Amino acid sequence: MTLLRQKLINDMTLRGLAENTQLSYLQAVTGLAKYYRRSPDQLTPQEIQNYLIYLSQERHLKWRSCNAVRHGLRFFYCITLGWSQIYLYLPCAKEPSTLPEVLSQEEIVRLLTVTTNRRQRMLLMTTYAGGLRVSEVTHLKVTDIDSQRMCIRIEQGKGRRDRYMPLSPYLLEQLRHYWRHYRPPVWLFPGRPKDRPVSRVGASWMYNQAKAKAGIQKNGSIHCLRHSFATHLLEAGTELVVIQRLMGHTSMRSTMRYLHIAQEQTDAVRSPLDLLEFPTSRRR
Q: Please enumerate in sequence order all residues whose Cβ is within 8 A of that of 65, keeping only pairs 6 or more positions apart, or say none.
A: 55
Distances (CA, A) of 156 to 114, 118, 177, 245, 249: 32, 27, 27, 15, 13
What range defines the domain where residue 211 resides? 105-267
In this structure, are 58 and 199 located in the same domain?
no
The predicted model gives 208-218 an average pLDDT of: 94
The mean pLDDT of the chain is 87
In a domain, 58, yes or no: yes
Q: Are residues 154 and 195 in the same domain?
A: yes
Domain match, 70 and 142 both: no
pLDDT at residue 156, as a whole number: 73
Question: Under DSSP, is residue 34 helix (H, G, I), strand (E, B) or coil?
Answer: helix
- CA angle at 133 for the pair 137 and 259, rounded to the nearest 5°: 140
Q: Is residue 194 part of a domain?
A: yes
Q: In this structure, are 171 and 232 located in the same domain?
A: yes
Q: Is the domain of 119 the same as that of 200?
A: yes
H or E element at residue 146: strand 145-146
Helix or strand (DSSP H, E) at 163: strand 163-166
pTM: 0.69
pLDDT in tens, 177-192: 999 999 999 999 999 8
Catalytic residues: 133, 158, 223, 226, 249, 258
Res 225: pLDDT = 94
One domain, residues 120 and 56: no
The answer, yes or no, to whether residue 211 has pLDDT greater than 70, is yes
Whole-number pLDDT of residue 25: 95
Same domain, 72 and 189: no
Q: Of 227 and 267, which is predicted with more confidence?
A: 227
- The pLDDT tens digits of the residues spanning 119-150 come to 999 999 999 999 999 999 999 999 999 999 99
Do 127 and 68 belong together in one domain? no
SS3 91: coil
Average pLDDT over residues 108-125: 93
Average pLDDT score over residue span 93-121 = 85
CATH label of the domain that carries residue 48:
1.10.150.130
Q: Burial code of 224-241, b = ≥16 C-beta within 10 A, e = fewer?
A: bbbbbbbbbbbbeeeebe
CA-only gyration radius of the chain, Å: 24
Residues 251 and 112 grouped into a single domain:
yes
pLDDT value at residue 241: 86
User: CATH number for the domain including 151?
Assistant: 1.10.443.10
Say if residue 73 is in the same domain as residue 163: no
Kindly state whether residues 111 and 76 are assigned to the same domain.
no
Q: Is the pLDDT of residue 220 over 60?
A: yes
Greater confidence, 157 or 53? 53
Q: Is residue 274 part of a domain?
A: no
